[in-house]
């Protein structure tokens, strides 16, 4: 994932978080694919730190369990406050809930 796209996504999530209560919406972040590599990359600490800050502010941040286990990063992600969930389960849940999914 290109760092600019990663940072853009984190900034967008923060802006949505800021207005979510007054708009009556719930925000959740789910990372999979190239985003897993980006959040695990020390060179992209700004992206990881922005997501960790969102998690600390109560935004559920989940990562693809299969992907982070495959690269040995499950414990690290959980220490950042990220939940683990299989991508197939997350996307089925989003469909059932009628969620709007924004992908960058």
Q: What CATH number does the domain containing 61 carry?
A: 3.40.1260.10
Q: Which of 58-62's residues contact partners 24+ apart within 8 Å by CB, and which partners?
A: 59/13, 59/17, 59/27, 59/28, 59/29, 60/27, 60/28, 60/29, 61/28, 61/29, 61/30, 61/31, 62/28, 62/29, 62/30, 62/31, 62/90
Q: What is the pTM (predicted TM-score) of this model?
A: 0.90
Instruction: Indicate if the pLDDT at residue 2 is higher than 90.
Output: no
The stretch 39-59 carries a mean pLDDT of 94
Q: Within a domain: residue 103?
A: no
Least confident of 2-6, 60-64, 70-74: 2-6
Domain residues for the domain of 82 are 3-97
Q: Within a domain: residue 68?
A: yes
Q: Within a domain: residue 57?
A: yes
Q: Within a domain: residue 102?
A: no
Please state the domain count of the chain: 1
- Identify the pLDDT of residue 103: 82
Percentage above 90 pLDDT, the chain: 84
């Amino acid at each position: 994932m290109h760092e600019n796209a990663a940072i853009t996504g984190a900034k967008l999530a923060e802006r949505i978080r800021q207005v979510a209560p007054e708009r009556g919406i719930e925000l959740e972040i789910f990372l999979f694919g190239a985003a897993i590599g980006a959040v695990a990359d020390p060179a992209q600490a700004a992206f990881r730190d922005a997501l960790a800050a969102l998690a600390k502010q109560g935004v559920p941040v989940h990562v693809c369990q299969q992907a982070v286990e495959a690269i040995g990063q499950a414990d690290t992600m959980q220490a950042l406050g990220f939940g683990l969930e299989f991508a197939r389960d997350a996307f089925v849940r989003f469909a059932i809930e009628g969620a709007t999914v924004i992908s960058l």
